[in-house]
Amino acid sequence: SSGARVPVLVIGSGYGGAVTALRLTQAGIRVAMVEMGRSWTAPGSDGKIFCDMLNPDGRSYWLKDQTDAPVSHFMGAPYNKAIPRYTGVLDSERFAAMRVYQGRGVGGGSLVNGGMAVVPKRQYFEEILPDVDADEMYDVYFPRANTGLQVNSIDPTWYNSASCYQYARVGSSQANSAGFKTVSVPNVYDFSYMQRELAGTAQRSALASEVIYGNNHGKQSLDKTYLAAAAATGRLSISPLHKVTAVYPAAVGGGYTVEMQQLDTSGKVVANKTVTADKVFFSAGSVGTSKLLVTMRSTGRLRDLSDAVGEGWGNNGNVMVGRANHMWSPTGGLQASIPVRGIDNWDDRQHPCFAEIAPFPAGTELWISLYLAITKNPNRAAFTFNPTTGRVDLSWQGSWSGPSITAAANMFNKINSREWTVYRTDLFGGNKTWGDDFTYHPLGGCVLGEATDLYGRLTEYPGLYVTDGSLLPGSTGVNPFVTIAALAERNIENVIGNDFG
């Protein structure tokens, strides 16, 4: 409540925040967590908590009048539709030349993501974070994160025959024919539950086109894993629909003043609150944390923050693309929304690319193969506070996706020429082949060892910490949440050991 003083305040309930909250509460420390999105526990009038991708309603998007789907067009026609304005679970936050998709709600990105739980290649991890002890990461913290996240793998025998993964088998064998290696990708979706979905003995979720607007069943999102475990200690309180707007040193008694707005589900501010915290953990995600910190630096409230705050943002080299298959290569009318297979060409020195074979769960046969490619794009953007608009800008330029397209085209041109197929140019609007103006994987803005010390401390302000994807320098080479969670495990262990007396 307003005016309260708390030992620890965590801003945001995604991976960085959830890991931090669990380890702090287990160490006996009370944690107050503030999350701008809803708590997704109460069903709507249809009895469901989340809506599916084929029938989006207000629950789909964060305060928008229209859906803003990544695949925005179909057969050249716009695919988006009007929805009531509501604090929905998926945000597509627009900057000048980049849309950033993010989860909004207790659980952050885990509510909307595909659940792919990938440990990066060790050699690449050492390249992006050379000052982090890789032995420790691979021996201790990656396994710890995988356990905490309840990662599991699909049974290969079931995968080989399940109708809902025909699209993955088609995508995989086409990649193999073109000379590329494919790999099975672990996930946090409970595959034994999915088997029951297909068998008809459990309510469908992955098999009912649910994923980016939330899964009603099957997915072990953070609210069911890390956050549930933290809550079970009795030391965690979560305030949903509370958005932090400012953090600065408290005038009296040490610690930090945290200003926040309480929102209703139409996004209206219903109360302004101020809390004082001895320690504040920024876990608002790459965009959320970077925006808050650059604003605080520019407006003089945390004026001594390093110049590196706001720098080093990348999109993990994300680019999306679709291919049109022949009539004799159907991808299946029933497609599991949870991806389980990747094309792994990361070791190609010239064109490293790790592409997830993505579903196109339209509920009908479309002969489309869709991919989300992760590439090694060297371009990095910066967040800056714009005093004229009072908002934060991101300097990413449209042309900066060029290196990602080149690397992905190296893969998919080969598959197309081997299969005698072409790209779909009707999916992203304006005859575009490449979905290159949006990302699912915002990373950086507060890079470990540059904007913070090697454990996420904002050293200019003792008691302020960064825990989320903003610590990663713009790229992980794979889907990022396992890396974010493992790094958070490592950092909080050090912080608990040294900063709590």
Task: Give how many residues touch ligand FAD by CB under 6 A.
Answer: 38
**Site for ligand FAD (CB under 6 A): which residue of 67, 166, 286, 335?**
286
Is 356 noted as a catalytic residue in this protein?
Answer: yes
Q: Give the CA count within 13 Å in the CB-facing half-sphere of 270.
A: 9
Check binding of 354 to ligand FAD (CB under 6 A). no
Q: Which of residues 468-487 bind ligand FAD (CB under 6 A)?
A: 468-469, 479-481, 484
Smallest distance, ligand FAD to C-beta of residue 328, A: 30
Beta bridge partners of 256: 249, 277
Q: Where are the alpha helices (DSSP H) in 203-332?
A: 226-232, 285-298
Nearer to ligand FAD, 24 or 421 (CB): 24
Residue 156 beta carbon to ligand FAD: minimum distance, rounded to whole angstroms: 20
With CA atoms as reference, report the closest residue to 288 among 260, 321, 323, 322: 260
The residue annotated as part of the active site, out of 441, 450, 460, 493, is: 441
Binding mask 287-306 for ligand FAD (x = CB under 6 A): -x---x--------------
Residue from the set 164, 244, 263, 296 that interacts with ligand FAD by CB under 6 A:
244
Tell me the DSSP string of 77-145.
EE---B----B-SEEEEEETTEEEEEE-STTGGGGTS--B--PPPHHHHHHH-TTS-HHHIIIIIHHHH
Tokens 């080299």 belong to 317
- Only one of the segments 153-161, 162-170, 283-291, 424-432 lies at the binding site for ligand FAD (rule: CB under 6 A); that segment is 283-291
Residues 103-142 that bind ligand FAD (CB under 6 A): 103-104, 108-109, 112-116
Encode burial over 275-296: b for 16+ CB neighbours within 10 A, e otherwise.
bbbbbbbbbbbbbbbbbbbbbb
Instruction: Give the Cβ contact number of residue 430 at 10 Å.
Output: 8
Task: Give the pair of three-digit tokens for residue 34.
Answer: 């503030």
Q: Which is nearer to ligand FAD, 421 or 427 (CB)?
A: 427
- Annotated active-site residue in 93, 210, 356, 419: 356
Residues 6+ apart with CB under 8 A from 239: 32, 33, 34, 35, 262
Cα–Cα distance between 224 and 239 in angstroms, integer? 17
* Chain residues 412-471 in contact with ligand FAD, contact rule CB under 6 A: 440-441, 468-469
**Please, which residue, 113 or 205, has the CB nearer to ligand FAD?**
113
Question: What are the residues binding ligand FAD (CB under 6 A)?
Answer: 11-16, 34-37, 101-104, 108-109, 112-116, 212, 243-244, 283-286, 288, 292, 440-441, 468-469, 479-481, 484
Residues carrying an active site annotation: 356, 441
